[in-house]
Each structure stands twice: as C-alpha cells, then as structure tokens.
Amino acid sequence: MKNKRLLAAFLFFLALVSCENSSFADDVAKSNLPAELRYMDITGAREGKSVKTNAPTVDTGDAIPVFELVSISKADGTVLDESYAEFVTIGQTASKTLNVLDPAGNIVSSQVVYDTSQNGIITIAEGNKFVVGDYYFTIKVSTEVKGVVKSTVFAKAFHLNVGPLLPSVLIYSPKNQNLVVGTNNKTTVPIVPNTNPAIKFELGSLTDKLVIDGATGVISLSPTYQYTAQETLKPIVRVISTISNEVVPFVNPINIVVSNTPVAVPIDSILFFYPTLKTTGSYPAGGEGFAVQTVVAGNGEDIWGELDNSTGRGLVAPTERPIGNTAQTILEVQTNRTTITDPTTSWMVATTQDLTPFQYGFKLSFTYHYMPAFQLYMADGRTPVDIEVYVSTNYKGGNIQDANGKWLNGTWTQVNKVMKCRRSEGVSGTTSTGAPWGTEFIGTPYPGDQKGLDPDGRKNPNTTFYNKWVRCTYDIPTSQISKNFTVAFKVASYFQGSLLNNTTVPGRGGSFYFSDLYFKASE
C-alpha cells in the first residue's frame, strides 16, 4: 500500500513538472514576439521638410528587432501611395567587421560588432510630399532567433502632424522703391517663394505712414501721411498663415523712398536662402536646409554631422551671414578612422530652390565655404577623396546615385571646373579663419599640401590647401533658372581597398568641413 502511495505521488510530481516545463517553453516561445512598440508623436512638422523620430521602444526579449514600413494613412483612413513612402526610411541595426592588421596590411584577427543606435528611427527626407494634416504609420517589427522568425504589425504606431510651410523669405523687387506723394503709386507685389500660399500680410511698423494690402502685400502711403521732407522708410512686414495663424516677421524687406518728385534709388541684393545647416549627431538624415544621402558609409565617424574637430572651428562669420542667424552650424565629414581610410560616398543635398521669381532683372549665384583637412596623398600622388559639386534643374527628390554610380533621380551637371574660389588668408595662430580672402581662381582647389607627383594635373605647388578654408561661388546662368534648382555636394573616393597611411599603403582621406551656404540675387 505504501509503495502505491509513493508511485502516485511520483506520477503527480512528474505531471506537475511537465506542466511547468510546458509553461516555461511557451514563455520562451512568446518572449521574442515583438510587443508594445511605442514612438513619440511629432507635431508641428513642416510641409516638405525633413523629419526624424527618436528611437522607439519595443519589447522583443533579448532579440534585435527589424523594422519595416507597412503603410501610411491619413486621419480619415485613406492609405497613401508609394510616392510618399519613397521619402521614408527606417534605421536598422548595422553590423561591421573590425579587422586588426599587421604592418603589411594582412588581417590578424576580426570581430563583428553591432550598432543599434539607429534601429527603428523613422526619417522622412527633405522635399517629401506630406502636406498639412495628420498621418499614421503602420510598422511591422520582426525578430529571428535560431532561425525562427516572429513578427507583429503595429497599426498607427507613429503619428505625424504636419503644419503649413512658413515663408523663409519675402522679396520686393526691386528692394529700393520710390513712392511719390500725391501720385497714388504703390510698391510691386512681393514674391513669397517656397511656402504654403494660404497667407496674408500685415505691417509690423510705420502704420502711421504706410498701409498694406492684406491679400497682395502691396504697400502704399497712408491717406493720413503728412510729407515734410524726403525720407526712407524700412517697414516690418508680417506674413501670417491663414491655416495656423502663425506669424513670420520680416525686418526691412523693402526700402521705400518717399519724395514729392521722382528720384533715382540704388540697386541692392537679396540673400534669399541662407540656411543655418543646424543638425544633430554624427550621422544625420539632414538638417535645416539640407538632406543627407549615404551611399557608401566608409569608416569615418561623421557623415555631414555636427563639427567635432577643433581645426574647423576657426571660421569667422562671413559678413553676409544674417544677424539673426545665430544657429549657423559647421558640418563635418570624416573619411578615415585612426590610420585607416575606407572608400566612402555621400551627398549633402541643399533644399531645392524656385529661381523663377528672379528671372527678370537679377544675377543669381550661390556661395559656400569649406575646408579640405588632413588629406594625405596616395602612392601615385593623387588625393584619396574630394568634394564634387553638382547642380540640377529637374531634381524632385529621392536618391541621386547608387553605389555603382548609376544616376537615379534628376539630371546633374558637375560644376567644379567653373567655380570662382578664394583661399582663406586669415589665421589665428595656425588655424585658418576665413577672411581676408585671397586672389580669385577658377575651379575648386585640389585637396592637400600640393606637393609630390601630380597625375591629375591639378596641384598648385606655389600654395597649400591643407587645413585652409575656401570660399567658392557659382554664377547661375539664365539657362538654369527653373522652379527646381538644386545644388548637391558629393564626397567621392578615388581608390579601392583600405589606405593605411604608412609606407606600405600610403594615403589618408582626412575630413571636410562645410558652412555658410547661401543663394544671392543681385539687382
């Protein structure tokens, strides 16, 4: 009898353990099933402007999640077509093999490392099609453990609210205009490019002397204006979105010379696009006034990111920089890590500009400032890397080139050879500071100290561009005036394999620093 009781107890114990093991196995099976995906909402984004989320949180146990965009819908449930999704990317985990090399360049050991810092981050590129409204992103998250793939689709995982694109420039052409007392004449109609057209106008000053047409922006003398002597009025004009009621004030967009007889007024120039280039991090998708396209990442620690190296910090603000531009950022591209340089290709694409408002009576140009830094030549005397400059009149978004050099979107013309450039002659200690600028020369300079063999035929042995700021200007011909004028800067590599910066495999890609890009219209 005793043995029967012991057997019964033993069988009960086995059953209990079996249940617990089954429950444990179920928990293990469920632990890698993605759950609880959460993104922070973004509100107040702007039409066509770049957007970047923070990294989301998601429960996958210890498995690394893979993110996929399933669909984008409007607030009324309408699913958007693929033309919207073309501008959207979701960051993934990056793996990289780190090789330890001996002095001869042979691999001694290798280790695979994983970077999850960008995983799940949603980026929407500059020039996108999202207009005013609310959008909801459905995201699929997957894991794979020991060959078993598990996925969960999260409906409306991310909410994006887009507000109207506000004006960044207000153009009265010409900027200096003459209003003659008693003639009832008026200013020209202002141009407000690259903005949502649902706007109205108000005066922010001089309302005792001037009046403005709220619908057109045309300014005239107030009926109560009392003329005593010729004077120049510089009003503040407020442009107001009729969608959001947001106000953008423009200080002195026009100089109004008031006289009792017609007088000649001076000509002027307009800086109609002067982005701060403000961005965050080392590998941004873009920033204020630009987008980044990384084709081949290489091994550098910055790709059009915030400046890290002190060498580029010496630039003194150009005289053209607007007083209100207090957030001007110097961008940095690194092409090597320690002594090793791997091939890299990336694009910095400036926001497309509508030049047609300036097609009559203006000369157009764009100017930028950059420093080629720490470049050392390869065994044959060539530079490993350089910045190539391209312009397009029909680019409407998307990747420009693939890793094989195939053109994907837009027709592009390289303009390095016709650039008007000047080398910085200003220094503080040994640091290049910009102005004063040297004698103008044609064509962007060859990076480096200009010494040694010159198979490209571009070196100037009488000077150096090693760690020197350079100011370059492109005069835009009338044939390129369009609604879609885009300038893009490409960091290009001219070698294969790895450069070791030693006697066996000489050469170093170094860095490029970039700042103060602006477009100018001269009357």
How many other β-carbons are positioned within 10 Å of the β-carbon of residue 509?
32
Q: β-pairing, 255-259 with 176-180?
A: parallel
Residue 143: band (very low, low, confident or very high) from pLDDT cuts 50, 70, 90: very high
How many other β-carbons are positioned within 10 Å of the β-carbon of residue 202?
15
DSSP-derived letter for residue 344 is -
* Degrees to nearest 5, angle at CA 58 with 56 and 63: 120
Q: Which residue has the tokens 């100290």?
A: 449
Tokens of 394: 């029909």
**Lowest mean per-residue pLDDT among 283-287, 375-379, 486-490:** 283-287
Instruction: Report the SS3 class of residue 9.
Output: helix
Per the prediction, the chain carries an average pLDDT of 91
Mean pLDDT of 260-264: 95
How many other β-carbons are positioned within 10 Å of the β-carbon of residue 453?
12
Contact 313, 332 (CB under 8 A): no
Tokens of 497: 């394999």
The residues pairing with 90 across neighbouring beta strands, listed in sequence order, are 122
CA atoms lying within 13 Å on the CB side of residue 207: 8
Tokens of 296: 């081949």
The dihedral sign for the CA sequence 475, 422, 346, 193: negative
Contacts of residue 377, defined as CB under 8 A and 6 or more positions apart, other chains included, come to: 383, 384, 448, 451, 452, 453, 506, 507
Domains of the chain: 35-163 (2.60.40.10), 176-265 (2.60.40), 271-522 (2.60.120)
Contact 60, 32 (CB under 8 A): yes
CA distance linking residue 380 with residue 456, whole number of Å? 10
Residue 520: band (very low, low, confident or very high) from pLDDT cuts 50, 70, 90: very high
Residue 402: band (very low, low, confident or very high) from pLDDT cuts 50, 70, 90: very high
Mean pLDDT of 259-275: 92
E strands within 76-117? 88-90, 94-101, 107-115
CA distance linking residue 371 with residue 382, whole number of Å? 18
User: pTM to 2 decimals?
Assistant: 0.66
Tokens of 34: 């993605």
pLDDT over 60 (residue 99)? yes
Residue 30: band (very low, low, confident or very high) from pLDDT cuts 50, 70, 90: low
Q: pLDDT tens digit string along 442-501? A: 999 999 999 999 999 999 999 999 999 999 999 999 999 999 999 999 999 999 999 999
Q: Which residue has the tokens 């960051």?
A: 91
Residue of 37, 205, 198 whose CA lies nearest to 122: 37
CA distance linking residue 286 with residue 51, whole number of Å? 9
Please state, for a pLDDT cut of 70, what percent of the chain lies above it.
94
The distance of Cα 476 from the centroid of its chain, to the nearest Å, equals 22
**474-486 b/e with 16+ CB inside 10 Å = b?**
bebeeebbbebbb
Contact 449, 466 (CB under 8 A): yes
DSSP-derived letter for residue 417 is G
CA distance linking residue 11 with residue 282, whole number of Å? 63
Q: pLDDT tens digit string along 333-357? A: 999 999 999 999 999 999 999 998 8
SS3 content of the chain, % helix, strand, coil (to 5): 10, 40, 50
Q: What pLDDT sits at residue 5?
A: 46
